[in-house]
Amino acid sequence: MYPKIKRLFDVSLAAAGLLVLLPWFVVVAILMKLTDRGPIFYRQTRIGRYGRPFTILKFRTMFVGAEKRGALVTETNDPRMTAVGRVLRRTKIDELPQLWNVLKGEMSFVGPRPQVPRYIERLTPGQREMLQHRPGITDMASLKFRNEAVLLAGAADVDDFYIRYCLPRKIALNLEYARRASLPYDIWIILQTLCPYWVGVLALYATLLVSSLWISFELHYDFQVDAVGRGEFWRCLPWVVGSQLAILFWRRQCRALVSYFSFLELLQTGCALGIACLLHFVLRQVPPNGLAPEPGIIGTDFVLSCWGITYARLSLRFMREGQKGKTNGAKGRVQRVAIVGAGELGTRVALDLLSQEAPTHVVAFFDDDPRSWNTRPYDIPVVGMPECLLNAEWREKVDEVIVALPDRGAARPREIGEMAKKVCLKVAFASGWPLLETAV
């Protein structure tokens, strides 16, 4: 029944989406015509289900004839993009006309992203299995490659890099999706596409902060909040919680993966909420003294909000560690480091490097697992696959590569080590705490 239910879901949602978004399509079309000459839509042949070609529809984001002047994929600051096109790409609005492809049955909301014929020709028989499924507007690969332009930045041959390193990982994610496909899973992927990670973190923090403020009022009124107290709560709520969320966002506590929590994150969270607390005391002095609650409530709210966020993040950390298990850590002393491996071993290496007195800067994590990309353990970005180190941009930013994969003797760590040495990067292997072995 799943294929029939999915098709009904696609048709009803695509029809509703086209009706609701039609006025916004007109606005985009007007902006494009005012700033750039050329067609509004971009049409390209893609390969769909069972290998059948179809014409995909997008808002045009590049100058006319751009595909003849460069690679089929785009990188950051691609000069072929128009001013409006950059905004459309960044917000993914350029993909919305594909609702028409969904309505026609050529695409689905969730499924493997359709590729151009040139890339399909390079697929192995096993990879061609993804052609058994209707292509989609979004999929797990789209989420993990959300910053694909950054991955391609600095590549000498963008098309070759995409085919060799990006495409195989996308196909692997598509095949994994095919094994797990269900309507709830599709909805979960759609929600992740529409809602960036930091929005979910803000929602979690908002829930905790509103609860902390309400409990503070309850304690102040001995759990007998009257109508006056409730009125004060609702009057102060936007000012108190809004300022806390704004300062937490400013202190970058909404960008990192919330399940990575250490003493450094605790200090950052406490600092952010402390600044908000001082601001609330200032607001209390501003006439008519209604923008913030009484000093006792402000102090109690500071303690409860710190405790609530700390407890939530530690709980998520313990859940993550319980799922991944324990592995050994490692440490070393370098100036600019890229760590290959964003798992428990890699993050322990990073934390140990950050705690060193010598000047140490962990530039980025690289990991083969796309599910870890775009996260920020210890506020260090997980950029993408290890092969990104081949790009000129990263060779200029990194002095040493630490391969933090559990089994150094396996083929993959050796391959990464050889790859890094070929581009003249110093290589070390995290082989067991506190040992850091330099590659010969």
What are the backbone dihedrals phi and psi of residue 56, each rounded to the nearest 5 degrees, phi first? -85, 150
Residue 273: the pLDDT is: 95
Rounded to 5°, the CA angle 297-300-301 comes to 80
Q: What is the pLDDT of residue 422?
A: 82
pLDDT of residue 234: 94
Q: How far apart, in whole angstroms, are the C-alpha atoms of residue 73 and residue 69?
A: 12
Evaluate if residue 175 carries a pLDDT over 70. Answer: yes
The Cα–Cα gap between 304 and 297 comes to 10
Give the pLDDT confidence score for residue 73 in this predicted structure: 67
In this predicted model, what pLDDT tens digit does every residue of 131-147 receive, in sequence order? Answer: 888 999 998 888 888 77
Q: Where are the domains of the chain?
A: 2-194, 197-323, 336-438
262 pLDDT above the threshold of 90: no
pLDDT of 437 higher than 70: no
Peptide bond before 413: cis, by omega within 30 degrees of 0? no
β-bridge mates for residue 432, sequence order:
435
What confidence score (pLDDT) does residue 355 get? 63
The conformation of residue 403, written as its DSSP 8-state character, comes to E
Residue 316 has pLDDT above 90, yes or no: no
On the question of pLDDT at 314 being above 90, the answer is no
Residue with tokens 């089929």: 72
Task: Evaluate if residue 319 carries a pLDDT over 70.
Answer: yes
Q: Does pLDDT of 89 surpass 90?
A: no
Weakest mean pLDDT among 67-76, 107-116, 170-179: 67-76
3-state DSSP assignment of residue 362? strand
Query: In 74-90, which positions are buried (b, 16+ CB within 10 angstroms) versus exposed (e)?
Result: bbeebeebbebbeebbe
Indicate the range of 91-95, 108-112, 404-408 predicted with least confidence: 404-408
pLDDT of residue 326: 41
Over the chain, what is the mean pLDDT? 84
pLDDT at 162 over 80: yes
> What are the phi and psi torsion angles at 340 (to 5°)?
-95, 115
Higher pLDDT, 321 or 178: 178
DSSP letter (8 states) at residue 163: I
Please report which confidence band the pLDDT of residue 72 belongs to, taking 50, 70 and 90 as the band edges: low
pLDDT at 242: 94
Predicted local confidence at residue 323, as pLDDT: 59
What per-residue confidence (pLDDT) applies to 385? 92
pLDDT at 343 over 80: yes
Closest CA to 38 of 92, 89, 85, 2: 85
> Cβ contacts of residue 120 below 8 Å, gap of 6+?
47, 51, 128, 131
pLDDT at 362 over 80: yes
For residue 15, the model assigns a pLDDT of 95
Of 374, 355, 356, 357, give the one whose Cα is nearest residue 365. 374
Q: What are phi and psi of 175, to 5 degrees?
A: -65, -35
pLDDT of 255 reads: 65
Give the CA-trace dihedral at 347, 352, 358, 362, to 10 degrees.
0
pLDDT at 241: 95
Higher local confidence (pLDDT), 87 or 198: 87
β-strands 400-403, 426-432 pairing: parallel
Q: 336-438 falls under which CATH superfamily?
A: NAD(P)-binding Rossmann-like Domain (3.40.50.720)
